[in-house]
Structures are given as C-alpha cells and as structure tokens.
C-alpha cells in the first residue's frame, strides 16, 4: 500500500504544483486574472487528484483481489491526498520564492481594486486594506503559509476520496482484468 500511496500522491502533488509554475507568471503578467487563475488551479487539482481514484483502484485490484471496503478505500484515498497536499505545498514554497515573488502584493491590489469597483466606501476599503495587510504579515511565516496551502487542496482531495471510496467498493465497478 505504501508504494501505491507514495507514487499516486507524488504524481498528484506534482501535477497540481506544476501548474503553479505555469499559472502564477500568467497571473502576474495579467494574462490571467486572480479569479480565472483560481479556476485553473482548482480544475488542475481535480484532474491531479484523480490519482486518488486510480490509487484506490490499483490497491483494490492488485492487493485485495478486486474487492475493497469503504473504510479501506477511504484510508488509501486519504493517505494519497495527504501526500499530494504536502507535495503541492512544498512546490508552492519553491514557486513562492521564485516565479511568484510579489504574489501577495498583486493579490491584495487585485482584490482591493475589485472591492472599490463594487462600490465599497472609504471606511470599508480602509478596513479591507488593514485585513489584507494583516494576512500578508501572517503569510510571511512559512509554517502558516504551508498550512494555508495544504488547506487549498485538501478539501478537493477529501471530496474525491469519498466519491472514489463509494464507487470502488462495488466489485462490479470497473472490475480488475485478469
């Protein structure tokens, strides 16, 4: 099980993390907005975390004779998700210190401008600006940044793990080939 978890988790984390190196410069250069960058990011996470499904199926077919309980499938999927989330967060750390320098300043400017365009009052803009500055200070702590980054991808992995566990516990769903 360890090999399946590690291989599928690392592949999923590398796919999702690799997209950071592509999309972050596009956001910085204005080719993607922060909103469309978010859409690209979460779409990539779903595609990358499809490795959860394939990892559970591989474990079911290769090690359990084609059947798996919901609990065992949940455990395998959760472990793949944890590995993928950690790889993703580690890749973001590298990205953050290379191609994403100034990312937080750009994000704060983007969302402040968006609030202004929505018609926020001067007091609301001041309050929002303070909140963004507080978050930027907090984000400088690598442990907080790592945790926040893990929490971006983890919920996606949890949903896909639950869905995969439900589907793959049925022996008839994509049965193993002899």
Contact 20/34 with Cβ under 8 angstroms? no
Q: Where are the domains of the chain?
A: 2-100+153-168
pLDDT in tens, 103-154: 888 888 888 999 999 998 989 999 999 999 999 999 999 999 999 999 999 9
Q: Looking at the predicted structure, is the pLDDT value of residue 88 above 90?
A: yes
pLDDT value of residue 178: 59
Contact 80/8 with Cβ under 8 angstroms? yes
Phi, psi (degrees; rounded to nearest 5) at 127: -65, -45
CA torsion sign, 90 to 95 to 101 to 106?
Answer: negative
pLDDT in tens, 71-86: 999 999 999 999 999 9
Maximum alpha-carbon separation in the chain? 68
Contact 56/164 with Cβ under 8 angstroms? yes
pLDDT value of residue 111: 87
Residues 6+ apart with CB under 8 A from 134: none
How far lies 172's CA from each of 37, 70, 119, 167, in Å? 38, 14, 55, 10
Contact 80/54 with Cβ under 8 angstroms? no
């Amino acid at each position: 099980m360890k090999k399946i978890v590690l291989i599928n988790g690392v592949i999923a984390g590398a796919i999702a993390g690799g997209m950071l190196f592509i999309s972050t410069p596009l956001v910085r250069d204005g080719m993607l907005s922060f909103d469309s960058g978010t859409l690209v990011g979460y779409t990539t996470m779903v595609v990358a975390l499809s490795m959860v499904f394939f990892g559970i199926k591989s474990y079911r077919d290769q090690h359990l004779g084609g059947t798996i309980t919901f609990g065992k499938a949940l455990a395998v999927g959760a472990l793949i998700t944890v590995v993928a989330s950690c790889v993703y967060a580690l890749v973001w750390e590298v990205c953050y210190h290379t191609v994403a320098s100034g990312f937080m300043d750009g994000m704060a400017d983007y969302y402040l401008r968006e609030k202004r365009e929505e018609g926020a009052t001067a007091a609301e803009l001041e309050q929002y600006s303070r909140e963004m500055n507080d978050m930027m200070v907090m984000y400088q702590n690598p442990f907080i940044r790592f945790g926040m980054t893990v929490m971006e991808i983890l919920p996606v992995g949890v949903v896909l793990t639950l869905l995969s566990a439900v589907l793959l516990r049925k022996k008839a769903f994509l049965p193993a080939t002899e």
